Structure 1
Amino acid sequence: MMSLHAISELNSSVVLIMSDLHYSLEQLLAFQYVADDMSFKKAAEKLHLSSTALSHRISKLEKLLEIKLFERKTRAISLTPEGEYLYKHVQNGFMTIQKALNDLQQKKQKMFTITTTPPFASEWLIPYLPELQALFPQVIFRVHASYDPVNMLTDQYDLAIRYGLGAYRDLNTELLVNDEYVAVSHAFFDENTLDWSTVPLIHFSWGEEYCPLKINWQVWYQNQGMQISAGQRQVFYNEENHAIQAVLSGQGVALLSSVAINNYLKHGTLKVISPFKLSAMNYYFLSRSNEDEVVNKTKAWCREKLFSVIDCEPSATWIN
């Protein structure tokens, strides 16, 4: 058993080396590894050190403390009473440090970036984002809205929701929802007075170089054997959100994505004024192959939120 005098000496030694503790942490860790298995050989393997380097660290610690920590025998070693005393406290110390590191890692906030089209961001992400944030308190969500092609392999984005045909290479591509374009007006528009040759037309275009399908009023009219009149009032926007606001303010009628305007149709602020629809592209999830829990749960949340409102069944079709 360790004497009170020996304990007092050890405590005094520890106090003396506190100012040089940054020099002794490696030695203390080496000491713990040796004491854990009572083996210099096993400790050296775990620490990826040579036996000589490990013995040097233990000797340096004993010299620094001016205390013998191990009884070295021919084929075995054992702790001295002072070594047992130090071992108990070193163990507790490193366990406390490890726990602190684990706690910090768990509390560390992660930035998670979702990139999607402006209409999907404004209609389906931003209004419900607090719900998603509540699922992941330690995640900071960033929403990036753009129609531009996205390079998921740069690690700049964690999840993409894109509007297209699904031909995305080298990515996990999952169909989220099918879409179609419908002619809509504001809620108080009188269909009985509708004249397709004079009604003001609201257009929007979003980088048609990326869109192989022509979805516009010209195609809509042609498919019904009609044409836009020469003097017909028209206005053009480059954002679908702006076109939606123009319709809501009574500026005319627009050809819009049924997914983008679903909430407006549900609440009766917009209405469909023609049964004729144009087939469109679809919304897809794009992600890298190494999906983590946040990616998978965010996709599940998006799908659940979307199909709790839209009158159709969710799709689980995998393209790649």
Structure 2
Amino acid sequence: MVDLHHCLDQLLAFQYVAENLSFKKASDQLFLTPTALSHRIKKLEQQLNLKLFERRTRTIVLTPEGEYLYKHVQLGFNQIHKALEELQQKKQRMLTITTTPPYASEWIIPYLPELQALFPQVIFRVHASYDPVNMDTGQYDLAIRYGQGGYRDLNVELLAEDEYVAVSHAFFDEALLDWSKVPLIHFSWGEEYCPLKVNWQTWYKQQDMQIAAGQRQVFYNEENHAIQAVLAGQGIALLSRIAVSNYLKHGTLKIVSPHVLSSMNYYFLTTENEDDVVTATKTWCREKLYNVLC
């Protein structure tokens, strides 16, 4: 029995020579010298104790045994190549999206099955944080960050412009609204993350008002918690329009004042080697926002 472990290189060399009927062309394709290639063919013929090629003056031709072997070797290597391609196609890839907690809660997690259906071969990982992101580490494929732009050494694309609006539960009676008595729900993620001072104090000051002494207030450091407090009817919060767009569209929350505060914007951050999956994920994110905001 022929030991395939020792003759696979020779069989591959044989296939290339049989396809080209030229040692020179085959050696160029295999990055071998003609002498090395000739040695492999000779060794295969010795192992099989068969003559595979007839060497003529200016050309070579396959012997009947060579024709038979070539047909089966070609089929075998084609099947191996096909199997390797299928394995690559089935191989699951991990794609990590890092974004702010509100964007993860309101725009990624509820719709993630849609994204998974678009890319069944991809395993998605969602990382939520306000912290600056270092894309050079290779930990993240796509970052969605809330800021003022100007990110260095990255591909930066605007995802959405934002503003902060005063929001209440849908059943709140605006006829009874007294800005000196209404319970205020504060959300603050720290000046290191939001340096524009988007807060109730600024909102009141811009309208020549002030928060009354003794006015009921509660403070949260997570915007998601402030949203839940408003949904529970506990007061009015100053919230990102992007973060609460779904609630506004479905009528569970409503804006109770035309006065808004300018804020920062959402940006996509990627590296130069972004692939088709990352590009398509960005398109999907834009479409989800567009369908709600427009």
- The TM-score bracket by the shorter chain reads over 0.9
SS at the partner of 1:161?
strand
Match of 1:224 in 2: 207
2:65 is equivalent to residue 82 of structure 1 = yes
2:280 is equivalent to residue 292 of structure 1 = no
What is the CA–CA distance in structure 2 between the aligned matches of 1:244 and 1:55, rounded to whole Å? 75
SS at the partner of 2:197?
coil
Whether the 8 Å CA contact 1:205–1:237 is kept in 2: the answer is yes
What is the CA–CA distance in structure 2 between the aligned matches of 1:146 and 1:260, rounded to whole Å? 15
Match of 1:177 in 2: 160
Structure 1 residue 144: deviation in Å? 1.5
Structure 1 residue 237: deviation in Å? 1.2
Whether the 8 Å CA contact 1:147–1:207 is kept in 2: the answer is no
Match of 2:226 in 1: 243
Match of 1:30 in 2: 13
Which deviations, in whole Å up to 9, do the C-alpha atoms of 1:59-114 show, x marking residues without a partner?
Answer: 22112111121222343222111111101110111111111111111222222222
2:174 is equivalent to residue 191 of structure 1 = yes
Match of 1:263 in 2: 246
SS at the partner of 2:143?
strand
2:123 is equivalent to residue 145 of structure 1 = no
Structure 1 residue 310: deviation in Å? 0.7
What is the CA–CA distance in structure 2 between the aligned matches of 1:46 and 1:162, rounded to whole Å? 48
Select between 74-83 and 279-288 the one with higher mean Cα deviation.
74-83
Which deviations, in whole Å up to 9, do the C-alpha atoms of 1:112-144 show, x marking residues without a partner?
Answer: 222111111111111112122222222222221
The code of the aligned residue for 2:265 comes to N
Structure 1 residue 24: deviation in Å? 1.1
What is the CA–CA distance in structure 2 between the aligned matches of 1:160 and 1:303, rounded to whole Å? 14
SS at the partner of 2:35?
helix
Q: 2:48 pairs with 65, 68, 71, which one? A: 65
2:137 is equivalent to residue 154 of structure 1 = yes
SS at the partner of 1:259?
helix
What is the CA–CA distance in structure 2 between the aligned matches of 1:262 and 1:100, rounded to whole Å? 47
2:228 is equivalent to residue 254 of structure 1 = no
Structure 2 stretches of 5 or more lacking a match? none
Select between 199-208 and 78-87 the one with higher mean Cα deviation.
199-208
Identity of aligned residues (%): 76
2:174 is equivalent to residue 200 of structure 1 = no
What is the CA–CA distance in structure 2 between the aligned matches of 1:132 and 1:41, rounded to whole Å? 50
Structure 1 residue 256: deviation in Å? 0.2
Select between 273-282 and 188-197 the one with higher mean Cα deviation.
188-197
Match of 1:92 in 2: 75
Whether the 8 Å CA contact 1:180–1:279 is kept in 2: the answer is yes
Q: How many residues align?
A: 294
Select between 254-263 and 266-275 the one with higher mean Cα deviation.
266-275
SS at the partner of 1:84?
helix
Structure 1 residue 27: deviation in Å? 0.8
Structure 1 residue 241: deviation in Å? 0.4
What is the CA–CA distance in structure 2 between the aligned matches of 1:151 and 1:104, rounded to whole Å? 32
TM-score, length-scaled by structure 1: 0.87
SS at the partner of 2:260?
strand
Q: Aligned-pair RMSD on alpha carbons?
A: 1.5
The code of the aligned residue for 2:120 comes to P
What is the CA–CA distance in structure 2 between the aligned matches of 1:203 and 1:22, rounded to whole Å? 71
SS at the partner of 2:125?
strand
The code of the aligned residue for 1:262 comes to S
Match of 1:307 in 2: 290
Which deviations, in whole Å up to 9, do the C-alpha atoms of 1:187-225 show, x marking residues without a partner?
Answer: 222223322223222112224213221101111111112
2:190 is equivalent to residue 210 of structure 1 = no
